Structure 1
């Protein structure tokens, strides 16, 4: 970019900043051609070199008596109002962004146009809800009700507003893009945020020490399962029910399970504090061979993937986890569920193995095939590493985001039919004017 020009002002917004924007925010912040700021919710990680992060907090939670169909939208309005206060404060300090890149899933950008109507707005459109044909109703163990369908229809109010308000959108996979309404498909680009394959890579010298002192290394019979939280959306219940067969067929294997006891998606169990506790009541497992590590530091997580002999990744048709791609990049032989968007990445028998999500016996049999040598796992591992490096390189992700950020600026808001003139320097409302309802 022309160094004689003033820096392009970029604002990132993410409740849990940096989230998906860690690499691109750090990349832009290293260049003098950009001035990079971020907004996150109070308590977010926010540690990106060169990026000043301003946080917001809600003045209250949604009202308990609010109809449960509407409560998510009330929460979005509260997030939007809190973020707008920060946006107006930035404006008062002289910061007017040229481009805003945001994850709008919690509502932070609902009122961004009221502060900066001329900023180019790029939304990360991770998911669009469906009452059937995707995650909801997929698992017969958790029956879909009419109430669920109605609730989901109402829940799409925020994603629809987000699609309407943005100039461009980005989805990480083709399948996730395809879930959004046809009227907005032209706005959405498919750009995955990328995997740092220089960091997430095979390492023959990797070692992982378990709490009981066992030291694991590449070549050991290590079976791994990783999720942010251990819950049905990521197939934890299916994997747990497959464990007795896995352990019986592979008497020399060690199973390592990583994940928290909260709920990221779906609901908590009714009869236990968390899904791990409920499944441990249901399934008798040998805790000398099955190790629950909870949430672990990134270095330990990477070492776990590098020593894994067989890695199980299961998911409802839903958002694709970074962990699957990172496992492949580390040379894992991944046994994945035959669900979207896993099937967009893994070709069965080539760079991974696919099984029916609910087929615990097939999962156990595939693991046995890998550990016994009946399945040529070395070729699968090599192709997994190659496919991630080819399809999800960090350089391509950065180039994709740069193209969106540096592309044509948004059309003047005043040129839109019926839009009243709103100069970018006009203060529409002071925060003190707002009702704190």
Structure 2
């Protein structure tokens, strides 16, 4: 089978699927902005495409997002046209539509089947919008109108997409019913063989101290430290947490940018804003027990979750972080926010402890419950790992499901482009 994969940051979500397709004998080509010249990666021929224009001036702010996607779609259409002239005729096209790249590919290959990675449809109703009253949407009561425009790219892809793939049921269910019926839920996969507990794990800190499983380590991990992932809730609980746990070492991992939601005031970061808010209530000796690692190599992240006694994961109702499932796979005992995407992965009292996102006192109590009860930590951590191995394991669950989805996609009658 001939397969074309489109992703501006290839391999992205196709890190495991693309090589698996190539390994079984499919001819796999990827089109991406990430390379500047053709290369071969794990059996996949990776080709560049190039943007030929930027955004226009004085564009309505609600249209800037779509215009960016349109620029990529136009560039991909041009590159795809040249590939067709060179003889490429894919049976299946796999694309993450989030950057608009796949919007016009059915115009080049109307006979191909287009499979879309369905990450999220932006819903205007609570709790998807207005979950955290401290950080309302940028447009106030007009926020549903802005989100409707933001979904324009999703809706146009519905017209040409033959089938969808979502990593979680929560994400699939954000999509409108007519397209949701064409979405298969199969997670990207967690390598539970590699992400496993290690009683000898060690985490070296810049201070010169090395943390091990013998230390009382509380961890908090996100791509960026920001409200969407509950950074403000955790930081506001930090002064009391340090007072209650005089032996605890608190380690936070995450960058200073903004991945989701509102941006901080110009020239500031959410990380520093909430440090400034709580720092006055924390003694210097206690602050020395708080460690911000920034962004780190993957092996260092694994060391972090392996030495954790209590791992805190907070999020709005949104895309579930890989880091949560990886922490579970490593056998960490977890306190997480009680929202729908988390409940899909964690059952309260069985594979972790859940707490209301805004309940600072409840968060503190549940973290302390883990720290004070080794048997509870052991039970929850073992059950969390078992659940991830059974439901999300890369080689035994997720990848076979993804390959089966590709094969079923290839048997569909392709939907033609729509005017």
TM-score relative to the length of structure 1: 0.89
The aligned residue for residue 399 of structure 2 is 398
Taking the aligned partners of 2:186 and 2:49, their CA distance within structure 1 comes to 28
Alpha-carbon spacing, 1:48–1:244, altered in 2? closer, same or farther (3 Å): farther
Deviations 1:77-101 (A, max 9, x none): 1110111222123223222211111
**Does the 8 Å contact 2:162/2:415 carry over to 1?**
no
Q: C-alpha separation between the residues in 1 aligned to 2:335 and 2:359?
A: 12
Q: Is the 8 A contact 2:4 2:29 kept in 1?
A: yes
2:60 equivalent to 1:67: yes
Question: Of 4, 21, 27, which residue of structure 2 is paired with 1:35?
Answer: 27
Structure 1 unaligned blocks of 5 or more = 1-7, 421-437
- Equivalent residue number for residue 270 of structure 1: 265
C-alpha displacement of 1:64: 3.8
Match of 1:366 in 2: 366
Q: Contact 1:88–1:115 at 8 Å: present in 2 too?
A: yes
Q: In structure 2, how many angstroms separate the alpha carbons of the residues matched to 1:43 and 1:340?
A: 37
In the TM superposition, what are the counterparts of 1:205-354 in structure 2 within 5 Å? 205-270=200-265, 272-284=267-279, 285=282, 286-354=286-354
1:18-42 Cα offsets, whole Å, 9 max, x none, are 11111111212222x2111112223
Equivalent residue, structure 2, for 1:434: none
SS across alignment from 1:294: coil
Is residue 97 of structure 1 aligned with residue 90 of structure 2?
yes
Q: Tell whether the 8 Å contact from 1:311 to 1:333 is kept in structure 2 after alignment.
A: yes
Q: Is the 8 A contact 2:113 2:414 kept in 1?
A: no
Q: Does 1:156 align with 2:151?
A: yes
User: Is the 1:245–1:361 Cα contact (8 Å) retained in structure 2?
Assistant: no
Partner of 2:17: 24
1:218 and 1:90 map into 2 onto residues whose CA distance is 54
Change (3 A) 1:47 1:254: farther
Report the alpha carbon displacement of residue 333 of structure 1 after superposing the two structures with TM.
0.7
Contact 2:325 2:388 in 1 (8 A): yes
- Matched residues in 1 for 2:250 and 2:135: separation? 27
Q: Hey, what does 1:135 align to over in structure 2?
A: 128
SS in 1 for 2:336: strand
The aligned residue for residue 431 of structure 1 is none
Number of aligned pairs? 408
- Given that residues 96 and 116 in structure 1 are in contact (C-alpha distance below 8 angstroms), is that contact kept between their aligned partners in structure 2? yes
Which structure shows the bigger proportion of residues in helix conformation? 2
Q: Is the 8 A contact 1:18 1:47 kept in 2?
A: no
Aligned mate of 1:126, from 116, 119, 123: 119
Q: Distance in 2 between matches of 1:412 and 1:362?
A: 51
Kindly indicate whether residue 109 of structure 2 is the aligned counterpart of residue 107 of structure 1. Answer: no
Q: Give runs of aligned pairs for residues 172-187 of structure 1, distance below 5 A.
A: 172-187=167-182
- Going from structure 1 to structure 2, the CA distance change for 1:242 and 1:297 (only over 3 Å counts) comes to same
The yes-or-no answer on 1:384 pairing with 2:384 is: yes
* Structure 1 residue matching 2:76: 3-state secondary structure: helix
User: Which one of the candidate residues 204, 208, 212 is aligned to 2:199?
Assistant: 204
CA distance in structure 1 between the aligned counterparts of 2:275 and 2:415, rounded to whole angstroms: 57
Q: How do 1:46-65 residues align onto structure 2 when only pairs under 5 Å count? A: 48-65=41-58
Quote the offset at 1:353 in angstroms: 0.5
Q: Deviations over 1:298-342 (max 9, x none)?
A: 010111111111111111001011000000000111111001210
State which of 404, 409, 412 in structure 2 corresponds to 1:410.
412
Q: What SS is found at the alignment partner of 1:132?
A: coil
Deviations 1:142-201 (A, max 9, x none): 124123221001111111112221111011111111111111222111111111101111
User: Distance in 1 between the 2:23 and 2:399 partners?
Assistant: 13
Contact in 1 for aligned 2:162/2:414 (Cα 8 Å): no
The alpha-carbon distance between structure 1 residues 358 and 272, as it changes in their structure 2 partners (threshold 3 A), is: farther
